[in-house]
Amino acid sequence: MPSTPYLIAVLAIVFTITLALRGVPFAVLGRLRGSAVVQRLSVWMPVGILAILAVTALHGTITKDAHGVWYALLATIVTIAVHLSFGRRTILSVGVGTGVYVLLINM
């Protein structure tokens, strides 16, 4: 078992690195806010992240279940419809779409 000072030192190093990695982008973003690249990323990055998460999450079910493709397609359509109908609220649309998908998978 490592000694207490060793564990405290490791935790301090991990805390410092994590804080630096989380804080540096915000410190740099203030200077780059007017950049065309940052403005484009702010539009497309959330969509890209959600797409990657959706593909990753749905891949297992789609490949194992014959109806998985249809369930995923229906849940995606519901997600898009809720997103466009209720003022582009991402948490609401993703939550409702996920709920529909879970219900379809478990029925």
Name which residue leads in pLDDT, 50 or 98. Answer: 98
DSSP character at residue 33: T
pTM for the full predicted model: 0.57
Instruction: Tell how many helices (H) and how many strands (E) occur in the chain.
Output: 4, 0
At residue 85's C-alpha, the angle toward residues 103 and 94, to 5°, is: 40
Residue 24 or 81, more confident: 81
The per-residue pLDDT for 41 is 86
The pLDDT, as a whole number, for residue 39 is 85
| pLDDT tens digits along 39-87 | 888 888 988 898 898 888 888 878 888 888 899 899 999 999 999 999 8
CA terminus-to-terminus distance, the chain: 49
In this prediction, residue 11 has a pLDDT band, given cuts at 50, 70 and 90, of very high
